[in-house]
Structure 1
Amino acid sequence: MTGTVEHPSRASRECPFSSESASSPARDTCPAFDPAALAREFDPFQPPYQLDPAEALRWSRDQLPVFYAPRLGYWVVSRYEDIKAVFRDNILFSPRNVLEKITPATAEAVEVLKSYGYAMNRTMVNEDEPAHMERRRALMDHFIPANLEKHQEMVRRLTREKMDEFIDTGRVDLVDAMLYEVPLNVALHFLGVPEDEIAVLRKFSVAHSVNTWGRPTDEQQVAIAHDVGRFWKYAGEIIEKMKSEPEGTGWMHETIRKNATMPDVVTDSYVHSMMMAIIVAAHETTSLASANMFKTLLTHRDAWDDICADPSLVPNAVEECLRYAGSIVAWRRQTTAPTSLGGIDLPEGAKLLIVQASGNRDERHFEDGDTFDIYRDNAIDHLTFGYGSHQCMGKNIGRMEMRIFLEEMTRRLPHLRLAEQEFTYLPNTSFRGPDHLWVEWDPAQNPERKHPALAREHLHFPVGAPSRRDIARKIRVAEVRREADGIIGLTLEDAKGRPLPAWSPGAHVELCVGEYDRKYSLCGKPGASGYEVAILREDGGRGGSRHIHDTVREGTELRMRGPSNLFRLDEQAAHHVLIAGGIGITPILAMADRLKALGKNYAIHYCGRSRCSMAFLDRLAADHGERLTVYAGDEGRRADLPTIVAGLPDGGQIYCCGPDRMIAALEDLTADMPEGTLHFEHFTADSSALDPEKESAFEVELKDSGLSLKVAADQTLLDAIRAAGIDVASDCCEGLCGSCEVSVLAGDIDHRDKVLTRAERAENTRMMACCSRAKNGSRITLAL
C-alpha cells in the first residue's frame, strides 16, 4: 500500500493536474480550467492530491471552495474560514463519520472481522454530544500543559539514546532510526501500555490507517481485515492485563478506573475502542509530522541554519511545519440538517472532507501562505490539530516531542542534509508523511567531538503554544527619508539579503526597537524588494515613535514580526471608498495601488492638518490623481463624511484608517447600511495594561471544553484560557487586531477593544480575550 511520488518545485506554481493524471480534465492551461469539471474529476487517490493536497486544491480555494466530488461521494471543503466554521459547530457538523471507512468493506472482509469479535465503537473523535464532552471532561486532566511537563525528561532521554546509536554513522533513515519508535514509546509510556512488540504495533497501525482512510483492493481488504482483527484482540488483551494493575499509572489506567467509577460515561465498549484508536492516534500523527518537519526544514536550508544559530526559534518552527506540511491532511464531518457553507447549499446527511492542508495554505488567512516561513507570527492558527471542542487532546504532547527532536538534531547535527532518494507515502485521504527519510552527514564534523558537553546541553520549552514574543526576523534599515513634517519613511530589507515574504494591502509589521514593539502598516509599491513603512513622531505617545525617530539610521539592524493582515481588502466589491486620517494613509495607499492595478472603481479621501504634514501627497497625486481628494485643515477644507457615505454606490464598501472620532462618525453614518459596508483600522490603542486594584476577578465557563476557570484581577482572559491548555490565537494583545476573538454564549461583557462595531458590541456575542472582561465580576460562558 505504498505509492511513490516526487515533489515538484512549489515556486513553479504548476497546474495541480498533470496531463498524464487520470483525474486531469482536458484543458490546455490551468487558468482556463472549468471548476465544475475539476470537481467532477476530483479523486484524492490520484497523484495530484497524494503528492501535494494543498496545491491540488488551489483551484478550489480560488474558485469553488465547497464542491461535491462524485468519485468520492463527499463534499470537499478547502478554505480556511469554511473549515474553521465546520470545526466550530460540532452539532450541525457531526463527527460521527470520522472513522467511517472511505472504501466500503467487502463481504469477505466483514466476515474476517467478525471472526475476531471486532466491535469498534465510538471514540472521542467520532462521538456526538453530550456523550463526547462528558467523556472528554472526565479524561482531560492528563493532557493539561502543567501535567505534561514531567514527560519532557523522558522524551529527551529516548531521543538522545536513539541519536547516540547513529550519531557516528554518517547516514541513517530517520524514520526507522528514531521518528517512529520514539513517538510510539512516548505514547505507550503516556498511556501506561507495556512497551513491547513495537514491530507488531507498527504493522497494526498501518492496517488500521489503510482500513479507515485508504483505498485497498478487494484482495488487500482481506489481509488488512486480519491485521485489524488481531489489533482488536491485542487491545483487549492489554486492557485485561491493565485491569489487574489497579495502581498503574498512565492515561489508559485512568480510563479503566473511570470505567469502574463512571460506567455510564466511560463504558466497557468505549475503553476497548479507545485503546485501539489511541495507540494509533497517539504516535502515528507525531511520527509522520516529525518526518515532514525534517524533510521540510532540510529542503529550506536557510530556515534550518537559522534554527541552528538561534534555538529559540524551535517552537514556532514546529508550528510552521505543522501548518506547511502537517501530518493530518483532512478530516471528516456529516451535516445533521440542511445548511449553507461557503455559499453552497448542503443537504442533511452530506458527508464532508474538510482538507486542513488546503486551509493551512489559504492566503486569505496566511500572508504568502505558500511560502515556508519559520518567522510567521500566526503559524499557530494552523488547523492541523483541528479547532474547537474536538481539537486534538494530544496536541501538546506532539509539540513537545517535535520540539525536542528538532532542538537535539540542530544542536548535535547542524551539518545534516537530505540524502538523494525518492519519497514514498501511504496512499490515503487524511494522513501524510514519508515512509522513509534518509539523511547524511560527515561524522568528523560533529560538534560534540570537539565539545563533548554539547551532547547533553539543551533548552527548555514550556509545554503549550509558542510565545509570540520569541518570533522575530532580523532586518536592516536600507533607507531613512523624510515623508512629511514629523514623518519618516523606512525601507526595510532582510538582514541576510533574503527575499521578504509577500504581503497584501492592509498588512502590517511589528518593529522591535530597543524595548519598544510597535506596529506599522506596509505602504510600499507592489513588487518592491523591500518593505516600506512611514512613522509619525508622537511626542505625547508611549515613546516608541520618538525612539525610532531619534535612533534608527540607515544600516541599523532591527527585529521584525509579520507581515500580518487584519485589515484585508475585499477585491470583489463593486466600488471602494478609501478614507484616511493623517498617518492612516499608509494602509490606504497600498489598497489604492492594488485597486488601480485591478482596474477597479475607487475614490480616496485624505484628511490632515496641513499639506506639509501629510505623507505621500506627491505619489498619490501622480498615481491616483483623478481619484484623490485632499482635505488640509489649514486650508479650511474638511471631509463631508455624510455626503461621502450617502454617495456610496450599491455594493460599495468603505475602508477607513484614522483617529477614533473619524471612525466613530462613520459608524454612525453606516449604521443602517448592509453588514460589511464599513471596514476600519485604528492606528492607536488605549493602554491595555491591567490595574489589579481597579479590576474584578470573574468566572468563565468554556462550554465546548467542559471547563470552568477563574480569571484573576491581574490576569487577562486570554492568559487564563491558555493556562488551561486551550489554544487561542492572538497578535497585538491591545484590542486592536481581532485575532483573539472568542464567541460569547452568555454573560455581560465589558468591551475594551477597538475592533468590534457598536452594533457588534450590542449583540454581546463576541469579545476580544486579550483585553475585554466580564462586567462587574460576573460570570460569562464562551464557545470554547
Structure 2
Amino acid sequence: MTSVPHHAEAGGCPFHQANREGVASPTGCPVSAAAVAFDPFEPPYQLDPAEALRWSREQEPVFYSPKLGYWVVSRYDDIKAIFRDNLTFSPSIALEKITPPSDEALAVLERYGYGMNRTLVNEDEPAHMARRRELLDAFTPEALEAHAPMVRRLVREKLDAIVDRGRADLVAEMFWEVPLTVALHFLGVPEEDMEQLRRFSVAHTLNTWGRPSPDQQVEVAEGVGRFWQYSGQVLEKMQRQTQGKGWMYDMIEKNRQKPDVVTDNYLHSMMMAIIVAAHETTALATANAFRQLLSRPAVWAELCANPELIPAAAEECLRHSGSVVAWRRRATREVTLGGVPIPEDGKILMVTASANHDPSHFENPDELDIYRDNAVDHLTFGYGSHQCMGKNLGRMEMRIFLEEFTRRLPHLELEEQAFTFLPNTSFRGPEAVRVRWDPARNPERRNPAVRTAQRDFPVGAPEARTIVRRVRVTRAEPEAEGVLGVTLADPAGRDLPAWSPGSHLDVVLPSGEARKYSLCGPVESGDWCIAVLNEEAGRGGSRWVHESVREGIEMRVRGPKNHFRLDETARRYLLIAGGIGITPIIAMADRLKSLGKPYELHYAGRSRTSMAFIERLERDHGEALRLYPKDERHRLDLAGLLAEPMNDTLLYACGPERLLTALEAGTTHWPEGSLHVEHFTSEGALLDPTKEHAFEVELTDSELTVEVPPDQTLLQALRTAGIDVPSDCEEGLCGTCEVSVVEGGIDHRDKVLTPAERRGQDRLMSCCSRAKGKTLVLAL
C-alpha cells in the first residue's frame, strides 16, 4: 500500500494501480504489482536494499508484501515514528523467525533445551525499561573508554601480522575476529572457543532472519542448539566465579540482587544475544565501511590526509551501508501509518537501510560524503528507548580500525572481486573484502614511529561542528551594491556534492564561529555559489567575507544543509524575497521552472542596484517575476497579494524579519501549512542565565528526571544525562532538535514552529525553548 496521494478521493483506495492478480492485503485493499513482486531474499534486495526500495520511497512508502506477510515501511519519518512509539508498535517479534520453522527443526531445538526468551531487543514495557536501567552502567562513555586500549591492541596485533604481506582478506583475518574478541572481553567470557562461536553466530543469523531450506533448517537448528547449550555452560562457569570482570558478571550480580528483574533465563538469553549483537553487527559494519571507502580511492585518500574526519566517515558509512538493514515490529492496535491502515497484530518490516537513503532527510543520499554533518541521524542503531545500547562500542571499534589503516596502509586498494552476502532480511555485510598493497611503500618502513603514532577520539557520536570541508574560492565578484557573490569549488577539482533548493552552508570564520549563507545555484553547476550582504550591524561574518574573501583562497565550510526544503507536490507557488533573501528563493524558482510548475516570484529591495541577480532573474524568470525597488516607488502589496487564499498553493519566503512577520500575520486565513519561511537570525533564542529559572524534565520513555539549571539549555542537560537528541544550528532555526512534550507549559523561543503548532503545546526545540513553570514531561 502507499500513502494517500493528494488527489485521492475521500474513501478511495490509496493505490494508483492495483495488481493484475487481484491480490489483497489483510485489510482488503488491493496490493500493487510492485508490492506483489517484492522479495527481500532475491538478489536486488540482498545486494542493495536501499536501491531495491527506491520505488517504495518514491511511490509506496508503506505497502503490504504478500511474500513476506509483512507491511514494509521505507521512509525515514515513518520508521522514526514507529521507533518512537513502542506501545503501539511492539518489538515483540524482532527476534521471531521470519521463515516459520519446520517440525524437524523445532525437534532439534527442543532436544537442546533451546529456550531463548525476551531480551532488550524484543521486550515490551514496562519490563523492558526496568531491565534496561539495570544494564546501562557498562555503556556510559567513561566505562567504554576503558576498553579502548584493549581494542587498539587487538587491531594492531592483527595488522602487524599482515602489514608486510601485501594481500589479505580483511574479513577473515581481522574484521570478524577482533569484534568477537572485543565482545567476549566486554562480557567477560573466555576466548578459547572463538571459532566455534563464529559458526554459532552465523547459524543464529540464518535461523532468525534468513530463508533456509528444510534441510538447511535442521542444520541451522543444530548450530543454534549448540550455541544455546554452550552459552549456558559458559554462564554456569561464570556464575561459579566470584571475582570475574565484565558485563555478564555485573548481570550475574544483578541476578542475585533482583532475581525478579534479571531472571536466570534472561541472563542466558542476553548472553547469547549480546555475543551476536556486539560481534556480528560491528564486524559487518566495518567490512561495509572499508568496501565503500576503498571503492572510492579519492575519498580514501582524503580520509588518510585528514584523519580528524574518521568519526564522521564511520558515521557516514553506517548511514550509507550500515550492517543493520531492517527491524521488525507488531501493531498492538489498528493504526494508520503514512496514510495506510495497518490492522491490529499486523507485522511490520522497517527497512532502515532505505530510510537512511531518504532524500527528504539526507541531501544527496546515495553519495558517500564523509563531510555529511547529519549522518548521525541515521537509523542503523534504531531510535528511542530501544536504540542500541552498544552503539558507542561499535563506533569505537570502527574508528580504531580506520585510524590504524589510514595511518599505516594509506596505499591500500581493493582487489577485483564479486562481493557476496549471507542471505537474510536484516543484517548485511560482505563475506570477504580482499585487498592488496605494496609493502615497500608502508610509511613505517621509513619512519618506525608511524606504527604507534595513534590518534584517539572521544566516545560517542561525532560533533557536527567538527566536520569541516575545505573549499577554494574560484570567483569573488559583486552581485549588487554591497553584495559579494562567491563561487566555491573542490580544491582537488572534483564536483562538490549535489544540493537541493533551500540548502545553505555554514561558513566557518577564522574565530571558529559560523555564519549561514544560502546556496543560490545554479544547482547543476558542480560548484557552490553564495551571495553575502555586507551588514554593518551584523555580527562580523559578512564583514570578514567582504574584506578577506578573494579568488584563490581556501575557506572552511560545513554542509550543505537543508532546513528550508521545497515541497514539490503543490500545484502552484508564491515565492517572496526581500533583499538578500533572494538567495534561497532564486534556487527554488530555478527548480520550479525546470519542473514546469506555475509560480510567481515577488522580489522587493531598496533599489535595483542593491538587488542581487536582477539580470539573471529577468533572463530566466521574466514572465513570473515581479520587482519592487523601493526607490522607484514600487511597493510589495502583501495585503492585496494574500487577501484571497489560493487552493493548493504554497508560499516560500525569505528576507528581513519584518517581512516574515508580516507574512505570518497576513496568511492566518490561509490553509495551515501554506507558508514556509527561513529565518537566519535567532533573537530571543540565546541563553541568558541571569534571566532564567531552573526546571525539571520527566522523561517518560527513559523513566528519568533531569534537572535543567539556569545556565544550561534543555538540550545540554539531556545530553549530560546520556539522552541522544540530534541537533544542528542550536539557535532555534532548523528544527533538528525537536522533542515531543507530554505535559507542561512551554516557553517557545524558536523560529521554526508555526503559531498553531505553538498553541498545540505538544513539541519544542530543545536547544533554546524552556519550561514556563517548574516541570515539563517529555516523550524521551
Scaled to the shorter chain, the TM-score interval is over 0.9
Q: Quick check: 1:710–1:720 contact (8 Å CA) kept in 2?
A: yes
Aligned to 1:14: none
Alignment of 1:525-544 (within 5 A): 525-544=522-541
Question: Structure 1, residues 224-270: CA drift from partner, whole Å, max 9, x if none?
Answer: 11111111111211221121124322221122222222222222221
Residue of structure 1 equivalent to 2:403: 407
SS in 2 for 1:705: coil
Cα distance change of structure 1 residues 146 and 694 upon mapping to structure 2, 3 Å threshold: farther
Residue identity in the other structure for 1:319: E
Q: Residue in 2 aligned with 1:333?
A: 329
CA distance in 2, matches of 1:460, 1:148: 13
| Correspondence for 1:725 among 722, 726, 732 | 722
Alignment partner, residue 234 of structure 2:
238
Q: Distance in 2 between matches of 1:634 and 1:246?
A: 86
The letter for the 2-side match of 1:126 is N
| Alpha-carbon distance in structure 2 between the residues aligned to 1:35 and 1:415 | 51
Show the 5 A alignment for 1:673-692: 673-686=670-683, 689-692=686-689
Residues 172-211 of structure 1 correspond to what in structure 2 (within 5 A)?
172-211=168-207
Taking the TM superposition and a 5 Å limit, the aligned residue runs for 1:609-628 are 609-628=606-625
Does the 8 Å CA contact 1:510/1:520 hold for their aligned counterparts? yes
AA matched with 1:143: F
Q: Secondary structure at the match of 1:532?
A: strand
What's 1:18 paired with? none
Tell me, in whole angstroms, the C-alpha distance in 2 between the residues paired with 1:134 and 1:246.
Answer: 25
What displacement does 1:707 show?
2.8
TM-score (norm. length: structure 2): 0.94
Distance 2:106 2:31 in 1: 38
Letter in 2 for 1:91: L
Residue 16 of structure 1 is matched in structure 2 by none
Aligned counterpart, 2:62: 66
Specify the alignment match of 1:590 in structure 2.
587
Which string of whole-angstrom CA distances, capped at 9 and with x for unpartnered residues, describes residues 44-102 of structure 1?
00010011111111111111111111111111111111111111111111111101111
Matches within 5 A, 1:21-170: 36-170=32-166
Q: Aligned to 2:152, what secondary structure does the other structure show? A: helix
**Mapped partners of 2:239, 2:420: distance in 1:** 40
Shift, 1:773, TM fit? 2.3
- The correspondence for 2:490, drawn from 487, 494, 515, is 494
Deviation at 1:493, TM superposition (A): 0.8
1:594-673 correspondence runs (5 A): 594-673=591-670
User: Whole-Å Cα distance in 1 between the matches of residues 141 and 761 of structure 2?
Assistant: 31
- 2:735 alignment partner AA: G
How far did 1:450 drift? 1.4
> Shift of residue 688 of structure 1?
5.2
- 8 Å contact from structure 2 (residues 645, 670) kept in 1: no
- Displacement of 1:723 after TM fit? 3.1
What is the letter of the counterpart of residue 577 of structure 2? A
Shift of 1:185: 1.1
- Against the structure 1 CA distance between its residues 775 and 249, is the aligned structure 2 distance closer, same or farther, given a 3 Å change threshold? farther
Q: How far apart are the structure 1 equivalents of 2:424 and 2:315?
A: 23
Q: 1:745 and 1:191 mapped to 2: Cα distance? A: 37
2:691 counterpart SS class? coil
1:137-196: per-residue Cα shift (whole Å, max 9, x none)? 121111122221111111111111111111111111111211111111111111122222
Deviates more, 1:221-230 or 1:259-268: 259-268
**Alignment pair present for 1:454 and 2:450:** yes
Spell out, residue by residue over 1:248-294, the C-alpha distance to the aligned partner (whole angstroms, 9 max, x if none): 22221122222222222222221111111111001100000001111
- Name the counterpart of 1:554: 551
For the residue of structure 2 that corresponds to 1:423, the secondary structure is coil
TM-score, normalized by length of structure 1? Answer: 0.93
Shift of residue 775 of structure 1? 3.0
Shift of 1:642: 2.7
Decide which moves more: 421-430 or 703-712. Answer: 703-712
Letter in 1 for 2:137: D
One-letter identity of the residue aligned with 1:495: P
* Within-5 A mapping of 1:211-610: 211-515=207-511, 516-610=513-607
Q: Which residue of 2 aligns with 1:738?
A: 735
Q: Alignment partner of 1:424: what SS?
A: coil
The whole-number CA distance in structure 2 between the counterparts of 1:750 and 1:480 is 42
1:768 aligns with 2:765: yes
Aligned twin of 1:712:
709
Distance in 1, matches of 2:397 and 2:771, equals: 37
The code of the aligned residue for 1:385 comes to F
Read off the aligned partner of 2:613 and give its amino acid letter.
F
The CA deviation at 1:295 is 0.7
More divergent stretch after superposition (366-375 vs 516-525) = 516-525
> In structure 1, what is the Cα distance between the partners aligned to 2:445 and 2:737?
47
Query: Which of 277-286 and 229-238 deviates more?
Result: 229-238
Q: Structure 2 counterpart of 1:748, which letter?
A: G
Shift of 1:730: 1.5
Q: State the distance in 2 between where 1:319 and 1:646 align.
A: 48
Deviation, 1:420, is: 2.2
Aligned residue-pair number: 752
Offset of 1:643 from its aligned partner? 2.4
The answer to whether the 8 A contact 1:214-1:428 is kept is yes
Query: How far, CA to CA, are the matches of 2:721 and 2:404 in structure 1?
Result: 28
Between 709-718 and 610-619, report the one with greater CA deviation.
709-718
Deviation at 1:112, TM superposition (A): 0.9
Aligned amino acid, residue 501 of structure 1? P
User: 2 CA distance for matches of 1:547 and 1:180?
Assistant: 50
* Residue 752 of structure 1 pairs with residue 733 of structure 2: no
In structure 2, how many angstroms separate the alpha carbons of the residues matched to 1:763 and 1:672? 18
* 1:218 CA displacement: 0.3
**C-alpha RMSD over aligned residues:** 1.7
Structure 2 CA distance for aligned equivalents of residues 680 and 190 of structure 1: 49
User: Contact conserved, 1:35 with 1:64, CA < 8 A, in 2?
Assistant: no
Tell me by how many angstroms 1:35 deviates.
Answer: 9.3
**AA matched with 1:392:** C
Alpha-carbon offset, residue 687 of structure 1: 7.1
CA–CA distance in structure 1, aligned partners of residues 231 and 413 of structure 2: 39
* Aligned equivalent of 2:698, options 698, 701, 705: 701
C-alpha distance in structure 2 between counterparts of 1:723 and 1:106, whole Å: 49
Q: Which residue of 1 aligns with 2:3?
A: none
Write the distance in 2 (CA, Å) between the matches of 1:698 and 1:271: 38
How far 1:683 sits from its partner (Å)? 2.3
* Aligned mates of 1:300, 1:77 — CA distance in 2: 30
Aligned equivalent of 2:6:
none
Gaps of 5+ in 1: 1-22, 26-33
What CA distance in whole angstroms lies between the structure 1 residues aligned with 2:451 and 2:523? 47
Q: Write the distance in 1 (CA, Å) between the matches of 2:146 and 2:106.
A: 43
CA contact (8 A) 1:340 1:346 kept: yes
- Structure 1 residue 460, shift from structure 2 partner: 1.6
How many angstroms does 1:505 deviate by?
0.8
- Aligned position for 2:24: none
- Which letter maps to 2:709? A
Letter in 2 for 1:694: K
Structure 1 residue 672: deviation in Å? 4.3
The corresponding residue for 1:11 is none
**Retained in 2: the 8 A contact 1:35–1:59?**
no
Is the Cα–Cα contact under 8 Å of residues 687 and 734 in structure 1 kept in the other structure? no
